[in-house]
Amino acid sequence: MKLKLYLVTGNKHKYEEAKRIFNDTDIDLLMAPLGKFEIQSDDLKAIAWKAALHAYKILRTPIVVDDSGIFIDALNGFPGVYSSYVFRTLGNNGILKLMTGIKNRRACFKTSLAVIVPPLDTIIEDEVCGEIAEKPVGTLGFGFDPIFIPEGEKRTFAQMDIDEKNRYSHRARAFRRLVKWLRDNFML
Ligand code: ITT
């Protein structure tokens, strides 16, 4: 029988990206019928963990929460845990303005997954580093995808389809490790 694992998110793109990672596994990733409860914290892990606990108390079913953000070196890690708010308020053009004249364009996307599959739980973290583009390019994906170029590429995430983005992304790396954790611990 397939394990049903619920991703708690209001972001359908995240679900679509994560879902691909579970193709050809005995795990069925579903979107939880519940929004993500978000605490304020300067730690992605803590945000993901509290959201997972909150969802688990209500749904009592295997749960995963993905909390992600982009950390820009020259801005001392900003927007980081505030990525969602900053995307809504400043957007990609606002970030590019902050980066005007800055040579060091290095940035990393980070993901923390908080996972509860009784009787076990875990936190899985991963990241992808690259550069902030000079201008937004591409129409695919979501959020900061048009301004992020992963290491080893010339294209932004927004120029890649889901399978291509998943070759590099923070989320795909973390979810691949989650598949391994589930296989190792639940013999799936
Ligand atoms: P949920 O919290 O409901 O899961 P969200 O979109 O608010 O959805 P996060 O708080 O984890 O998710 O992400 C913060 C922001 O970081 C998000 O709104 C995006 O703008 C950005 N972000 C995260 N992952 C991204 C990705 O793969 N590509 C581009 N931007 C991303």
Instruction: Find out whether the beta carbon of 169 lies less than 6 Å from any atom of ligand 1.
Output: yes
Tokens 């973390």 correspond to: 174
Ligand 1 pocket mutation pick from 17, 72, 125, 142 by most atoms within 8 angstroms of CB:
142
Using CA atoms in the order 172, 99, 38, 121, what is the torsion angle rounded to 10 degrees?
30
Helix residue ranges per DSSP H, the chain:
12-21, 44-59, 83-89, 91-98, 162-168, 170-186
Q: What is the C-alpha separation between 43 and 100, in angstroms, rounded?
A: 27
CA distances from 157 to 6, 100, 137 (A): 25, 21, 9
The alpha carbon of 1 and the centre of ligand 1 are apart by a number of angstroms equal to 32
Cβ distance 17 to 166 under 8 Å? yes
Q: What is the pLDDT of residue 24?
A: 87
Q: What positions carry a catalytic annotation?
A: 67
Threshold 0.75, pTM exceeds: yes
pLDDT at 180: 97
Q: Which domain holds residue 64?
A: 3-186
Give 81 Cα–ligand 1 centroid separation in angstroms. Answer: 10
Atom of ligand 1 nearest to the CA of 51: 2
Residue 1: predicted pLDDT: 79
Query: pLDDT 10s digit of each residue in the chain, 188 long?
Result: 789 999 999 999 999 999 999 998 999 999 999 999 989 999 999 999 999 999 999 999 999 999 999 999 999 999 999 999 999 999 999 999 999 999 999 999 999 999 999 999 999 999 999 999 999 999 999 999 999 999 999 999 999 999 999 999 999 999 999 999 999 999 87
Q: Please give the tally of structural domains in the chain.
A: 1
Judge if the beta carbon of residue 10 lies within 6 A of ligand 1.
yes
Give the atom of ligand 1 at the shortest distance from the alpha carbon of 79.
16
Q: Which residues contact 128 (CB under 8 A, 6 or more apart)?
A: 108, 109, 150, 151, 168, 169, 170, 173
**Domain at 155, CATH number:** 3.90.950.10
Q: What local confidence, expressed as pLDDT, does residue 28 receive?
A: 96
**Per-residue confidence (pLDDT) for residue 187, from 0 to 100:** 81
- Which among 63, 72, 84 is the best mutation to test ligand 1's pocket, defined by most ligand atoms within 8 Å of the CB? 84
pLDDT tens per residue, range 54-92: 999 999 999 999 999 999 999 999 999 999 999 999 999
